[in-house]
Structure 1
Amino acid sequence: MEFRLGELFCGPGGLAYGAKHACIDNPDFKIVHKWANDYDKTTCDTYIRNICPDNPSSVICEDIHYLDIEALGDIDALAFGFPCNDFSVVGEQLGFKGKFGPLYTYGVEALKTYQPQWFLAENVGGLQSANEGKAFSKIAKDLKKAGYRIYPNLYKFEDYGIPQARHRVIIIGIREDLPFEFKIPAPSRIYRTCKDAIENPPIPENAANNEKTRQSPTVVARLNYIKPGQNAFTATIPEELQLNVKGAKISQIYKRLDPSKPAYTVTGSGGGGTHIYHWSEPRALTNRERARLQTFPDDFVFEGSKENVRRQIGMAVPAMGAKLIFEAVLKTFAGISYTSVDANLNDF
């Protein structure tokens, strides 16, 4: 069975790459790209280049507020990693009152319009506690009302062999008239270190998106006092190199990776010491190194400026993490058993 996949808020293609490369023992079950939407031009260019170079018109680059959902075309599956700005644990947690909070409703509209057999919805781990838990409860209720049984779970991707501590709420939904029951795939608990991901194999010299960031002499001097795993506030740094910060001290400021562990969460930011910093060299990671932590292959080329690429990589779903979840969905429909665990999120 071939599932035609539509995507809203598609980003650069982390979910799409995982879907496209999902493979199970029954080759008749696979996922193919049908259409996708995002509002950012360079992000759409990245998606087209890597996911559907032969069908660029299938990617609609448009603000979703103005998107004609009914004109997109029939699909068998839907993926939407709706923007997480207002559900993040960092910031004001505006939730439904924020600009981005209600954007999940466009995914609900697409479900009602096309009634695909299943869907995958993704958001940050903070979704479960946003608005005192009311945000997740409301979203779950609306997804059910659209006609789906839902299977939410907080995936800790480092437990699945992704070389990064990245926690995301992912909801699988199966249309309620279908007899399939999704089970949460069991984590491997085989941990891959950030050092192994970046160095094994070595990044080719001609790899795209591998330009180094120029570090000022002050930043280089400061980093030389910060040991692996430390940040600007936990390291012993001379007074002249210390940061003059009052109030909350964010732990990821000038934080160097610990080469013996998965990386901390890759984000789209970079200013003010929020780059991810190499464990031994006094510098920020390149975008290609960051992409390695997000499990994108080296031939996955990101379009746009260095800053725009950094943002694309930071907002993506880890490609191999998406792949293993999509494979669990395919196995569910193919009737292939796999090792599973109980969900760690309640179905409200």
Structure 2
Amino acid sequence: MPTFDFDSPIDRRTEPGDKWGRYVGRDVLPLWVADMDFAAPPAVIDALRRRLDHPVFGYTDAWPGLVDAVIEGIARDHAWQIEPDWLVWLPGVVSGFNLACRAIGEPGDEVFTATPVYPPFLTAPANSGRRLVTRPLALSDGRWEWDRAAVEAALSPRTRQLMLCNPHNPVGRVFDRDELGWLADLAERHDLAICSDEIHCGLVLDDVAHIPIAALDDSVARRTITLMAPSKTWNIPALYCAFAIISDPALRRRFRHEMRGLVPHPNLLGMVAAEAAYRDGGIWRAALLAYLRGNREAVLNAVASMPGLVAAPPEATYLAWIDCRNAGIDDPAKFFEDAGVGLSDGTPFGMPGFVRLNFGCPRALLAEALGRMQRALDDRERKGR
């Protein structure tokens, strides 16, 4: 078995980019935006080098080897057999759920999602003249769950679409078959289309299966747009390659129609990387998941000792969703940033009083960040708040 080095730091401060660029010139450790501080898999880097030996980079459609790698990867990892013509290639999943909002219903119709959630979920409906309707997930015995009665009560005859994030960003849930079955039944009874962002499906940390909601049965699949990408699992987001899986021909036509003149083709090198990742990235992914489990344990242990902070264990992703509401801090993201740790503020996710921590980084960096958080809280306690 090959070994992979997730411990050695890679200096990202010399390259322009969101994550480290936000705090340039400041002693702030960035644990916010959802990309990891790890090198991409060797299989992906090698595939990119081989492609660079060909000197022409013209317009390119998905080729059979890429399509086969994606289909085989989804069947292998998620027990879902899809067909080649179900695939619609995209530069990213954010484009995908904006397109879904345009393709479903009419201006003034409603799109439902649950909070907290990845912030573009909350802005996409208005981009297409749709109205956003939300209800919060409920935290019960350390587990984030659907408030089923509240969701049912929120729907109206104008609700046309359910936007689902699974595995969930930011709470880290992998929704189980019972939960997905309830959502599918809800969609059937209210005639809702489903747009399911499953970009973190390769990052399940616990011994649970990620089940694509469209894989439940053909009737669910016919009303579902599933969005996936290799970008989070294999840490290649800036290569811009994603895809929608849409089994229903009419829904697929509407989705493609909304792309015209707006959505570019995915990046050629991103498609090369995607094929390599799905075909040859499994061993690296297994090593990554083992490392992330250790980082998750470090985060949960540290947060448990921090006064006023609580974090439910994420079942997937490299993101910890931390409840700071009992810490007596008005702006927890600013508080920790002032202490030298850059976290995502919960407010854009629809849940103020929380922060999101990205633990996809070398363990020494994570330990330093957690130490800074602990010291800041301890200092605050000593000073009597």
Q: TM above 0.5, one fold?
A: no
More contact order relative to length (CA 8 Å, sep ≥ 6): 2
TM-score computed with the length of structure 1 as normaliser: 0.37
TM-score computed with the length of structure 2 as normaliser: 0.34
